[in-house]
Structure 1
């Protein structure tokens, strides 16, 4: 009966079974519910990603060259927009006459992730840099065409010539560095990201207040020494010009480098960022703050990219500014410094670390086992963010039509062209079996010899021409400015059967680039006289 020993034993067992069954059902429901919610949230985040075209210019480089182990570098252009096209951005400052005006790319930083993921280089271009703007055509069948500039234009105007894709095009034309992705952020995005991170330490050598008698300045006010900044104060730091160093954009760039290095160190040591709620906040802030190219239009692609970036220790991060000179035509603006700016660009193109430490031991990286399903096993060709190599096979040389153009006067046209050079090089190609090579009389000017092609199915043929002439792989690029394969004989090939080989590449960033190491936690901003309190 109920009062007997057997009854007392059976009833609790039945109750326990019911409890276990109920618990299992609830757990199953929660697991299914969480999975569904996770999937819906994933779709929500994916649908929130804002994208734009990668490159609006005519010139499309063939992608970064893999190293001997098949590993591919990655180049990402970081763009800070000063757009004041909504209430949130307008509330964060700026003259009212700039509201709803064309946006400017006031911050431009090229982030280079090495092929073996051992180091990272960042090159900033001051917003006051003068350069030639390329032709930019906005996407779509009736996309607006922004013609190439006839003279020097300030680099931050590129954003108003079609969007971030034109800023990418301007960098490509100037540096010949293949850019794989871009990320653009505006004022309110900086504030939300800085809040989500939870504070970044910065240092000033004296009390500072960025405010002139006329009311200009970011409004930043900090006491001497180290300060933890976030939110709007972080934006003020990144925007401060009046009060830092010489009061120019160049000092501001140095302050931005200090902030980014400190932020990288915080990511590595800040335990709060392992908190799912904190990570969720950061993810939402990042998604709502950024505009990216279409190659980063999914959460998993952004996650894969973050995994790759995380592989680099902070001690191998090097922040630099493009070497510059004051412009001969405008002493309030700057231009790339001859020689040293190109040295810096070349180091990025050739995947040479800017910190002077030389390449890491690639054998160790190559022998390390890759995780199953890794998005970029050992940072090799499987990296979904890396450009795919062309698989277009080359036709026999005698079937390849090549136009040869005399561009020996250089880009600036300061030097007279070598007479008859296109005909001479066309004959050289004919002697190598390219019997359909012919001189082209159209005007052109290039500092280095380059081969351009119009359609993807011409990539292999263009590469074959380069190989026959002993030209490097990065001399081949896709371009809408040609109708077929065209060899531009540059200033480096005025005579002889081969271009003049370039001098050995530098092994360390020039001092004029102001290199700053990611582990340098002693960096402290110098304060401009008259802005202390």
Structure 2
């Protein structure tokens, strides 16, 4: 049950479903007038807690070993749910030459106010019963060899295609729609958010974790504080041009923040100048927290472990596959093994939403697509792994199979999914490619007149193993790589679904594969070993 009002978050400006006004067109937040002061104060408190929820999740990944101290008690704290509750087509990345596969965990910070303690931390009782919003969403990607990791955030006000989802508790079915990504949590729970991410990125996500807010201050205190840094004196307060503020007040340099002050750092927006810069500050905090945990011998301090683990598991809900402390501990060990300089934090490259450029964003088709490709292919986002850092050096080539049907007799359905958030589908695109297939011997290729959902990547799908060779033959005829061929129960025969990556021409364009560290420049990447400082927006310097 969600307990947060539509007017409780001062950062959204345009209501619970979207972000507030920004500086610039791509998500920057500029000053507002004094008329929204009350709304601003309430909404800033709630946004702070959402991001603190993600911090809490990362702490859990690194400290859940306390379960060994009082296993049954902690297991009883953990709430569990269904991994996926929506229509998703992503498939697991193939193992590397050593038989290893990547691990992907989706962290979700819910704005639900389901306890008196959460309400005390900034929620309001006026919207008890409203669906929760997943306003913090971050994918933790740990490489197959466990030598590198990525933390990838999607802005909460990103407009995306949301698949049909079914609430596993009530059985209520939510039809597919196009909306802001933070609404997915209220459309069937975390499993719907996971399915939306899978369809957007093509990345198979193994688990999800959702976090509430009550343990944030306790967690910051339990680890002894986290180092943060500013380049100028900062005071995030009300000004003549902008009401509200987190109250954060620091002198220039490095400070160890904990408790309420840690919360102030995480919810500060105006002093950094924009929502996207707030994300950068939060990434800095997460990286610093991970470095702190790695440097501390927390596993020998029974009292601290018990406090951390008890607070964490009471605030946590997870997908059922990882619903024990033992499994959470194992996840923590996976993350703990990654060196700090091999952890990269990024924000999804984005553009102003043509439908609402002041408040919403959409994925940048080219740069976000490149980032998703790196995650799918398990290519490190950093360059600190040497020549062997790229998964491509150890991946076995995909095997091919012989067709079971003469191409002239094989039915092939071609669908036009070339649209994207920023571009309409290419007219008659399915007919153009169907004609090209006919010319190449597939005389029964036909164009589907019903438009499918937008597709980031072009794929050839087949329903059963006996048609795998035939699907691979279609891919070969058009120049598509074997990796574009996928088995799917959603199709009844060989189906070519054209994506936004192939809008022109009749032969699939060869594309250069990204290498380790080839991150899009607009992803605002931060390395986990960096000890960086935040610049303070001029009106908030003192």
Report the 3-state secondary structure (helix = DSSP H, G, I; strand = E; otherwise coil) of the residue aligned with 1:524.
coil
Structure 1 residue 197, shift from structure 2 partner: 2.2
Aligned with 1:75: secondary structure? strand
Matched with 1:109 is 138
Q: Which TM-score applies when normalising by structure 2?
A: 0.74
C-alpha displacement of 1:205: 2.5
Local SS of the residue matching 1:59: coil
Could you say if the C-alpha distance between residues 500 and 49 of structure 1 is closer, same or farther in structure 2, counting changes exceeding 3 Å?
same
Q: Aligned-residue CA RMSD in angstroms?
A: 3.7
Does residue 420 of structure 1 match 2:447? no
- Describe the superposition over 1:470-518 as per-residue Cα deviations: whole angstroms up to 9, x where unpaired: 4556535576754566332445567888533323325421221121111
Work out the number of aligned pairs and report it: 462
**Counterpart position of 1:139:** 168
Q: 1:356: which partner in 2?
A: 383
**Aligned partners of 2:99 and 2:473: how far apart in 1?**
19
Please state whether the residue corresponding to 1:307 is helix, strand or coil: helix
Alpha-carbon shift at residue 462 of structure 1 (Å):
4.8
Structure 1: 5+ residue stretches without partners: 1-37, 368-379, 381-392
- Please tell me whether the aligned partners of residues 379 and 389 of structure 2 are also in contact (alpha carbons under 8 angstroms): no
Moved more, 320-329 or 290-299: 320-329
Superposition map of 1:315-330 within 5 A: 315-328=341-354, 329-330=356-357
Equivalent of residue 155 in structure 1, options 169, 173, 181 = 181
CA contact under 8 A between 1:406 and 1:421: conserved in structure 2?
Answer: no
Do the aligned partners of residues 486 and 414 (structure 1) sit closer, same or farther apart at CA in structure 2, a change above 3 Å counting? closer
Structure 2 match to 1:28: none
The equivalent of 1:82 in structure 2 is 111
Alpha-carbon distance in 1 for matches of 2:386, 2:469: 27
- Alpha-carbon deviation of 1:61? 1.2
Contact 1:410 1:490 in 2 (8 A): yes
Cα distance in 2 for partners of 1:163, 1:361 equals 39
Q: Give deviations 1:120-157, integer Å, cap 9, x for gaps.
A: 111111222222322222226x61122222x4x22222
Residue 373 of structure 2 corresponds to residue 346 of structure 1: yes
SS in 1 for 2:85: coil
Q: Quote how far apart the aligned CAs of 1:262 are.
A: 0.4
Q: Normalising by structure 1, report the TM-score.
A: 0.75
Evaluate the alpha carbon distance shift between residue 276 and residue 462 of structure 1 in structure 2; reply closer, same or farther with a 3 A threshold: farther
- The 1:40–1:350 alpha-carbon spacing in structure 2 relative to 1, beyond 3 Å, is closer
Partner residue in 2 for 1:267: 293
Contact 2:350-2:368 at 8 Å conserved across structures:
yes
Instruction: Work out which of the residue numbers 507, 511, 518 in structure 2 matches 1:508.
Output: 518
Q: Distance in 2 between matches of 1:448 and 1:115?
A: 23
Match of 1:443 among 440, 448, 451: 451
Query: How far is the alpha carbon of 1:265 from its aligned partner?
Result: 0.6
For the Cα contact (< 8 Å) 1:450–1:475, is it kept in 2?
yes
Superposed displacement of residue 257, structure 1: 0.5
Q: Counterparts of 1:495 and 1:210 in 2: how far apart (Å)? A: 50
* Structure with larger Rg: 1
Of 230-239 and 490-499, deviating more is: 490-499
Shift of residue 424, structure 1, vs aligned partner: 4.4
TM superposition shift of 1:467: 6.7
8 Å contact from structure 1 (residues 80, 105) kept in 2:
yes
Unaligned runs of 5+ in 2: 1-66, 396-400
Give the 3-state SS of the residue equivalent to 1:64 in structure 2. coil
Q: Choose which of 516, 524, 527 in structure 1 pairs with 2:536.
A: 527
- The answer (yes or no) to whether the contact 1:195–1:231 under 8 Å persists in 2 is yes
Matched-pair contact (CA < 8 Å) for 1:129–1:336: yes
Q: 8 Å contact 1:200–1:262 — kept in the other structure?
A: yes
Q: 2:416 aligns with which of 407, 413, 418?
A: 407
Q: CA deviation at 1:103?
A: 1.9
Whole-angstrom distance in 2 between the partners of 1:133 and 1:80: 18
Q: 1:59-109, CA deviations, whole angstroms, 9 ceiling, x for partnerless residues? A: 131112222322211111111222223211111114554555332222111
Q: What are the Cα deviations for residues 200-227 of structure 1, in whole angstroms up to 9, with x where unaligned?
A: 1111233333332576333333333222
Which aligned runs of 4 or more in structure 1 are off by greater than 4 angstroms?
Answer: 94-100, 393-403, 421-431, 435-441, 459-464, 470-474, 476-485, 491-498
